[in-house]
């Protein structure tokens, strides 16, 4: 059996012999990124609220649009919670460190 064929499916980044030099990331720090992401999540939550209200009022033309908006907000919030959990984990890990 020809095994070499499998190589075709390996992502290009892995096939590169020399690792590319990482350039220093300029610009915004982690805090800025987090703040922006939180704002986006907040926006989705507001949209979801609006969708729920218009659904209750019977103003919605497509029910699926309202539900998708709500689902997106829920998923975004879930992701936010996961990021928060990771942050707290990292913080606790550091605070437990022996000096």
| DSSP at 96 | T
Q: Are 45 and 77 in contact (CB under 8 A)?
A: yes
Among 36, 82, 87, 90, binds another protein (CB under 8 A): 82
Q: Are 52 and 74 in contact (CB under 8 A)?
A: no
Q: Which of residues 35-54 bind another protein (CB under 8 A)?
A: 40, 44
Residue that is written with structure tokens 């890990």 in the block:
93
The piece of 2-10, 11-19, 45-53, 59-67 that touches another protein (CB under 8 A) is 59-67
The piece of 5-13, 50-58, 73-81, 91-99 that touches another protein (CB under 8 A) is 73-81
């Amino acid at each position: 059996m020809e095994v070499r064929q499998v190589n075709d499916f390996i992502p290009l980044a892995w096939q590169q012999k020399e690792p590319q030099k990482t350039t220093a990331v300029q610009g915004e720090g982690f805090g800025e990124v987090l703040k922006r992401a939180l704002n986006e999540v907040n926006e989705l939550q507001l949209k979801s609220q609006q969708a729920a209200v218009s659904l209750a009022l019977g103003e919605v033309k497509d029910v699926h649009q309202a539900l998708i908006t709500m689902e997106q907000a829920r998923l975004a919030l879930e992701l936010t919670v996961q990021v928060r959990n990771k942050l707290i984990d990292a913080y606790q890990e550091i605070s437990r460190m022996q000096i």
